[in-house]
Structure 1
Amino acid sequence: MPKDQRQMRLTSRHVAYLQPDTVVEALPPPPEGMSEASEADHRDTIAKFFGPDDHDETWVFAYGSLIWKPACDYVEVRTGLLHGWHRAFCLGWNNRFRGSDANPGLMLALDRGGACKGALYRLPADKRDENLIKLFEREMGWKPTAFPPRMVTVRSGDRTIRALTFCIDRNSGRYISGLSENQIADVLAKAVGTRGSMAEYLFSTVEHLEQMGLHDAHLWRLQNLVAERIEAVYETDR
């Protein structure tokens, strides 16, 4: 942990105020107009990006929940800088996992422009496909996906690494843009779904980025704004 790690305003105390009635990890039925992706679909995706003998170094670039809740096994982790893309709360609207019809959530995805610091995970060479399938089952459980995988070039120390990541499809119908930080904070401070709250999602992402020595100024401002809103609702008598 970096010695100069900043003190977050958003804490587990704030997250504790926003709990789902029941935590459900299983994938619910797909929304209307979508279908559940099969193992064959995921194997087709693997074939699209990787050759049959391309097992030695398979990297995944994580920018959000994959940083603190990896969906697959890995044998090496590094930090890296991706140019041309930035993390943004631009994937909406989530009314199941971390939101509801009354208070839908916004999830992170990579959007064009800027740069993004994140984590690089190298998958075990002898179990590449099974770990990619686990990753796709979590990130692309339904099709068509609003944030399809793509290969990007990430700088990590003295290395340049080709890695798989997930970027928003601006034409998907789920792309949300133009919101101010205050509007995004309003959403994140209230949304709760079957897998937890958006406040928890933000807290875990910022906390783990800071532990890795990666500071995201936008997320840092958001965590302060979200904590402020939660305190205003739940701690008015303190």
Structure 2
Amino acid sequence: MSELWVFGYGSLMWQPGFDFAERVPAAVVGAHRALCIYSFHHRGTIERPGLVLGLDEGGACQGVAYRVEPAQRNATLAYLREREQITAVYVEATKPASLLDRSGREIEAVCYMADRKHPQYAGRLSLDRQAELVLAAAGLSGTNIDYVLNTVRHLEEAGVHDTTLAALAARIMRGEVS
């Protein structure tokens, strides 16, 4: 059994929930981080959906790669599938990633890509619509506001500035909806 690499671009960056041997800044090319998934479970409900991040097609995304020891591979994948695949809105995929630790290492990492054909795929929503949804939503894992603010804070701490998420965070902190 081989080691496993997992790419985190949202809450996995600040709350992985599994044991890992190494945590390294990383980037994936060909996909970008976006609030493009309606959340009916963790950060919203069917009546008041929230928004959570998906890894969507195109662009590039900086995040974190976690190396998992071979003995923990199956347990980690089972945990991630239970956490990320509640409604099957993500497609589990293996993508090439570059580790940004000056080692020059290139790895293959498990990523959870947004399924554009799934009914929960929100696509590209205006900042106004995103703020409206985030301000009103809460689910089993807490408020949608906390999810967005925690994500932005952890991205900034990792040296990653996501302009769109930062603008949304500023707007929701002011309670602005146009």
The normalised TM-score by structure 2 is: 0.90
Query: Letter of the aligned partner of 1:97 in structure 2?
Result: H
**Counterpart Cα distance in 1 of 2:47 and 2:86:** 24
Pair 1:134-2:79 in alignment: yes
Measured in 2, the distance between the counterparts of 1:211 and 1:176 equals: 28
Q: 2:132 corresponds to which residue?
A: 186
Structure 1 residues 169 and 101, CA, compared in 2 at 3 Å: closer, same or farther?
Answer: closer
Q: In the alignment, is residue 169 of structure 1 matched against residue 115 of structure 2?
A: yes
Q: Which ranges of 4 or more aligned residues in structure 1 deviate by more than 2 Å?
A: 94-97, 100-103
Structure 1 counterpart of 2:30: 84
Greater strand proportion: 2
> Residue 147 of structure 1 aligns with which residue?
90
In structure 1, runs of 5+ residues without a counterpart are 1-52, 233-238
3-state DSSP class of the match of 1:175? coil
Which residue of the partner structure matches residue 67 of structure 2? 122
Asked if the contact 1:72–1:132 (Cα under 8 Å) also holds between the matched residues in 2, the reply is no
Percent of counterpart pairs with the same letter?
Answer: 35
Unpaired runs of 5+ in structure 2? none
Q: Which one-letter code corresponds to 2:17 in the other structure?
A: A
Kept in 2, the 8 Å contact 1:110–1:166? The answer is yes
1:108 corresponds to 2:53: yes
SS at match of 1:167: strand
Pairing 1:96–2:41 present = yes
Cα distance between partner residues in 2 of 1:139 and 1:178: 21
In the TM superposition, residue 147 of structure 1 has moved relative to its aligned partner by: 0.6
RMSD between superposed Cα atoms in Å:
1.6
Matched residues in 2 for 1:119 and 1:109: separation? 15
